[in-house]
Amino acid sequence: MSDEKRLALLIDSDNVSAKYAQFIVQEASKYGELIIKRIYGDWEKNNSGWRIPAMNNSIMPVQQNSYIAGKNATDFSMIIDAMDILYTCNVDGFVLVTSDSDFTRLAIRLREAGKLVVGIGEVKTPLAFTSSCHKFSYLNRICANVGDDYNEETLRKAVLDYVRDNDDGRLDLMKIDSYLTSRYGNIDYTTLGYNRLSTFISSFPELRRNSNYVSLRKSASVKAKSAAAENAPSEKDITHVIVEYLERQNGGRDDISRVAEHVTRSFGKVDFSRFGSKRFAKFVDKQSVLARDNNTVMLKAAEGAPEKADKPVEKAPEKPVELVEKISGKPIDEIVEKIAKRQPKPAEAPTAPVKTMHINPQIFTMEVQKYASENMPNGGNLGQLNNMLLEKYGKNYVAELGFSDFAAAVASVSGVNAAKNLIYVVEPEKPDNTEKQPKKRGRKPKNAKPAEAVEKTEQPVVEEAEAVEEPENAEEPVVPQKLEINSVIREVHTFAVQNENHGSLAVLGAYFTKKYGRGYLKELGYPSMKKLIAAIIGVSVKNNLVVIDEEFIERTEQIEQFVNDFARGEGSHSIKSLSAQIKKNFDGFDFAEYGYARFSDFINAIDGVRADRYHVVAED
């Protein structure tokens, strides 16, 4: 017997648009089998556009007359049915599709009865209802591009794109209708000059319709493929664009995600399998002029390049380093050297005496603050700072400081901020008189000590990565990217694997804050990063480090090998057959656990194979 949960899907047609119909069913199906599907409304008015989408998705409409104007009878009907189902039907949970807070009490009651409660609605849904559900999905994010205004041109493009992506020789006309309805709602084809969808499809010179089935004419298919191949960029073109982009960055390096985004903006979606790899990271590794350090891409010429000399430095008033010099009456270099001399020195290496210098938290703080202040107002490059410290204190200096990585070490230094691979000094406010200390932006460190006591401090105060504010003098504000839970899942898995289980939770949180904005946890519906990680299959948090489960990696490798063997074996190579065999051989497999909305996307992420419409194809 299947362990899949039995769910009841109840939709309030008064508060949710019909254009989301297909996406509602897809999202609800992630949590179990939908044994009951009902939608409530006054169908005699027939003004909601739900009639055709409900029919196409096997959702039973429930008629509820509006006896008195202004009274929401639909809500009462849906609540009564939910309680009837609770006591008379064998269900494990409910999916409530509404943006109305009136269902808050119903959600609480169903949870008290031990049932799973999943909410689906738009961003406008009040917090009272979303927090009453075990899980809540926002339709605006599930299908962000849904609901655009349509005309004949946009509909024709949508139909051709959908057929080209799904053509297997016998594409059901109802699937095209369901796809268009999910994007544009109830379409009135008479306004376009056609009496129904089938007549509209028959007008396409690129398509062939046989009764209720549609296929792409061979001439159109060949033309589309040849055009795509002709316009595809070469490996040299892509590399040239990456090099030009990195040359414009300070230090010749940037995060791999931003480099990939620049390539996509330049050429559109690129099929890197043409160059021997499905992943952009492996494409970068193959280029002789590029280098990669985890998530950072850099020019090989810039990897060990010396810092530029004679750089004009604009002196900013009263920086933290200058305050130390002013109060102590000694240059900062003299203070750093004095502290270093007090530490026991290791045996001298005549070939590289600089690397034998010992480092402690106080010296590191001084070095970072000094470097940041010397490179104001444009900010100093974090990569150059790291290279400088590596040459001076050796390759293990970060571990000696007690940190897992360089970013976490920098985050522990008060008085500086790191943003977009640059490090800045936090600008102090101008004091009213000389007796008052300048106030710093952001959180004030606890137990702050005067500058002359720096030598005696045993450990600098560590500020939370997510509490760091953007510097006022940054040239460009960080624009948060579109937040999507599947992307977050994939990024968490990648972070844990690439950092070999030594990536700190604070660094990951700072990365997400920079990429998606400070409110990303609230938008995803989690109170903290630990709660978010706990909800992702295959990873966990141990000692504030993001750790990936070894069994999860082993199982994933077995699945990837199974897919490769399937693509190269005899017999059927259809995606449907592969899905059935994986579920049979790997109990509980769900591609959504890996952060993919479709099974074909999961296949395309595996090296050596690709999903070609409805079949799995092996790549040499």
Q: What is the pLDDT of residues 496-535, one digit of tens each?
A: 887 776 778 888 888 888 888 878 888 888 888 888 888 8
Q: Are residues 386 and 332 in the same domain?
A: yes
Q: Give domain status of residue 195, yes or no.
A: yes
127, 35: one domain: yes
| Beta strands, E only, 363-483 | 380-381, 416-419, 422-425
CA distances from 117 to 108, 112, 114, 265 (A): 9, 10, 9, 40
C-alpha of 528 from chain center: 16
Nearest to 323 by CA among 413, 452, 459: 452
Residue 131: which CATH number? 3.40.50.1010
Helix or strand or coil: residue 462?
A: coil
Alpha carbon distance 157, 175 (integer Å): 16
Q: Which of 532, 548, 564 is the last residue of a domain?
A: 548
Residue 509 to residue 104: CA distance in whole angstroms: 31
402 & 273 share domain: no
- Does residue 372 sit in the same domain as residue 424? yes
Same domain, 49 and 132: yes
Query: Does residue 293 lie within any of the structural domains?
Result: yes
Closest CA to 86 of 3, 4, 7, 25: 7
Assess if residue 310 is contained within a domain: no
3-state SS of 10-35 is EEECCCCCHHHHHHHHHHHHCCCEEE
Span 576-593, pLDDT tens digits:
888 888 888 888 888 888
Q: Is the pLDDT of residue 620 over 60?
A: yes
Same structural domain, 34 and 165? no
Q: Which residue has the higher pLDDT, 192 or 377?
A: 192
Token pair of 63 as six digits: 């008629």
385 Cβ contact list (under 8 Å, min separation 6): 368, 371, 410, 423
Residue 237 and residue 211 share a domain: no
Q: What is the mean pLDDT of residues 599-608?
A: 87
- Indicate if the pLDDT at residue 486 is higher than 80: yes
Instruction: Show the tokens assigned to 317.
Output: 């008033």
With beta carbons less than 8 A apart as the criterion, state whether 450 and 402 touch. no
Q: What is the pLDDT of residue 91?
A: 92
Does residue 378 lie in a domain region? yes
Residue 99 lies in a domain: yes
CATH number of the domain residue 182 falls in: 1.10.10
Quote the pLDDT of residue 38: 93
Range of the domain at 451: 320-467
Task: Give the tens place of pLDDT for each residue, 3-25.
Answer: 688 999 999 888 888 878 888 88
613 neighbors 224 (Cβ within 8 angstroms): no
Same domain, 191 and 274: no
pLDDT band at 1 (very low <50, low <70, confident <90, very high): very low
Q: Which of 204, 227, 250 is the last residue of a domain?
A: 227
**One-character DSSP codes across 54-84:** HHHTTPEEEE----STT--HHHHHHHHHHHH
pLDDT band for position 334 (cuts 50, 70, 90): low
Strands 539-542 and 545-548: antiparallel
Query: Sign of the C-alpha dihedral, residues 596, 599, 601, 603?
Result: positive
Is residue 25 a part of any domain in this protein?
A: yes
Residues 29 and 131 in one domain: yes
What whole-number distance in Å separates Cα of residue 125 and Cα of residue 99?
Answer: 4
| CA atoms of 508 and 465, how far apart (whole Å) | 9
Cα(121)–Cα(140) distance, rounded to whole angstroms? 8
3-state secondary structure of 217: coil
pLDDT at position 450 over 60 = no
Tell me: do 456 and 387 sit in the same domain.
Answer: yes
**How many distinct structural domains can be found in the chain?**
6
Domain match, 579 and 524 both: no
Closest CA to 214 of 226, 190, 227, 197: 197
- Are 85 and 121 members of one domain? yes
Query: Per the domain annotation, does 29 fall within a domain?
Result: yes
Among 227, 259, 287, give the residue marking a domain's end.
Answer: 227
Position 65 in a domain: yes
User: Which residue has better confidence, 28 or 347?
Assistant: 28
